[in-house]
Amino acid sequence: MTQNQAMTPFLQPHQLTYIKKQLHYLVGAFYFSGDYRVLDASRQNSVEKILAAVPDATPEQRALLAEAAHVRDKEEEMRYVLKLEPLVIPFPEITAAEIKKLFPKVKKLVLPPLEGLDRTKLTYLGWRDIATSSLYLVCRVNGKWKGIECRYVSGQKNRSYICTWCGRALPGDEVALVTSQIKMRNIPDGYKTAGNHLCLDSFSCNSALKTTDGIDAFLALLK
């Protein structure tokens, strides 16, 4: 049995995406730098960043992550990623009934496609209802489901907007201003509005997530 086959999954989807980013930089250094000192520095820097991105890794897991230092070309990059993919913890399974309970005030809730969903690529679940300009977000917080109903306003197609979750700059019909009402006891009308620029294609956003900082900050506003 190989090392990664015996190992329990320990990587979050966004962590694997971050590792892929560092591998891409590392392969680029091997391709374009002829100075061995630059290569050594790039190798060390990438491995340090990878280890820092998975702070709770065990010594065995850290040893596997440190193998990134041996990746020199695209073929080795692909083989290494294939070793890591089975070690991704999938997004928890959720049913349509559970989703409906998260949005009890939405009478005609449009449900996301759950069949065939690759949960190893999801950090959060998101989908939109174009008819009502609504974006629905579902996250797992402290072992419980959290549902967030949002409204979105698309921007101009000829302008770029940055998604505060995945960090990509995309046209206004792909990244929109997304707002959600927060219940507050200490203000006159009882509500305040929190907003972020977010990807409207949540599956695409998930594939580009390298950190959960943006998600965590948004969830903190809703407490």
Q: Looking at the structure, tell me whether residues 109 and 186 fall in a common domain.
A: yes
Domain C-terminal end among 87, 122, 141? 87
Q: What is the mean pLDDT of residues 202-216?
A: 96
With pLDDT > 90 as the criterion, what percentage of the chain qualifies?
Answer: 74
In this model, does residue 104 exceed pLDDT 70?
Answer: yes
Structural domain count of the chain: 2
Q: Place 193 in a pLDDT band, splitting at 50, 70 and 90.
A: confident
* Segment among 88-102, 156-170, 171-185 with least mean pLDDT: 171-185
Domain C-terminal end among 52, 87, 122? 87
| Cβ atoms < 10 Å from Cβ of 73 | 11
Q: What is the mean pLDDT of residues 176-186?
A: 79
Its domain, for residue 11, covers: 3-87
- For residue 67, the model assigns a pLDDT of 96
Q: Place 188 in a pLDDT band, splitting at 50, 70 and 90.
A: low
In this model, does residue 137 exceed pLDDT 70?
Answer: yes
The 8 Å CB, 24+ separation contacts for 176-184 are 176/135, 176/152, 176/200, 177/152, 177/153, 178/135, 178/150, 178/151, 178/152, 179/150, 179/151, 179/152, 179/153, 180/148, 180/149, 180/150, 180/151, 180/222, 182/221, 182/222
Chain mean pLDDT for the chain: 91
> Who wins on pLDDT, 31 or 145?
145
Q: Place 1 in a pLDDT band, splitting at 50, 70 and 90.
A: very low
Q: Looking at the structure, tell me whether residues 32 and 128 fall in a common domain.
A: no
- Does residue 177 contact residue 197 with C-beta atoms inside 8 Å? yes
- For residue 195, the model assigns a pLDDT of 84
Distances (CA, A) of 133 to 156, 167, 178, 222: 16, 22, 10, 20
Q: Looking at the structure, tell me whether residues 104 and 204 fall in a common domain.
A: yes
